[in-house]
Amino acid sequence: MSNLIEKQIKREEIYDGTVLHVVKDTVELPNGKQSLREFCLHVGAVCVLPLLPDNTVIMEKQFRYAHNRVFFEIPAGKLNYKEEDPLEAAKRELREETGAIAGKYTFLGELDTSPALLDEKIYMYLAEDLAFGDRDLDEDEFLDVEKVPLSELYKMVMRGEIKDAKTQIAILKVWELKK
């Protein structure tokens, strides 16, 4: 395995934005030669699959500018800072986006979203025993919420109708857990 590791020699800061931080590293390859690696640093994120007792899931429709279309997703959001407890962030995002507070959370795992270009890690959770209050969307956040049976979401993933990776994986994991 050590014959696959690349060693950072130098880092150049390319861009420091609100969400993304772009860097260019000079690395030493396993064969001793040098190469460049450009990638984005990201603080990390969470996603939550909120499951109701009747096996319906609270889903969101949200416009994603980079793709210029509306995506069908589970609630999600970025960490406020790198060391933030992912479970606390998941609780916050679920409440803000859906108004739900869960009595039970199950950790579903971590997702490295695009490891060739981005160091983002998404922490995935199942939320159950839900109680509802008011939503508290961010000022620049616009989304519609709807309930969809887990069985239908599974079929939508398998038909390729749900394009969002974190949503696909969370649905498939919960489908397997609840079979």
139 given a catalytic annotation: yes
- pLDDT-derived band of residue 1, with 50, 70 and 90 as boundaries? low
Q: What is the pLDDT of residue 58?
A: 97
Look at residue 20 and tell me whether its pLDDT is greater than 90. Answer: no
- Average pLDDT of the residues of the chain: 95
Per-residue pLDDT reduced to its tens digit, 63-103: 999 999 999 999 999 999 999 999 999 999 999 999 999 99
Question: Residue range 140-166: average pLDDT?
Answer: 95
* Cβ contact 15:90 at 8 Å: no
Tokens read off for 77: 């959001």
Tokens read off for 53: 């007792």
pTM value is 0.93
Q: What is the pLDDT of residue 35?
A: 97
Query: Which domains occur in the chain, in start order?
Result: 2-41 (no CATH), 45-178 (3.90.79.10)
Q: What is the pLDDT of residue 38?
A: 96
Q: Which of 83, 139, 141, 146 is catalytic?
A: 139
Q: What is the pLDDT of residue 2?
A: 72
Question: Residue range 153-179: average pLDDT?
Answer: 97
Question: Residue range 105-128: average pLDDT?
Answer: 96
Per-residue pLDDT reduced to its tens digit, 31-67: 999 999 999 999 999 999 999 999 999 999 999 999 9
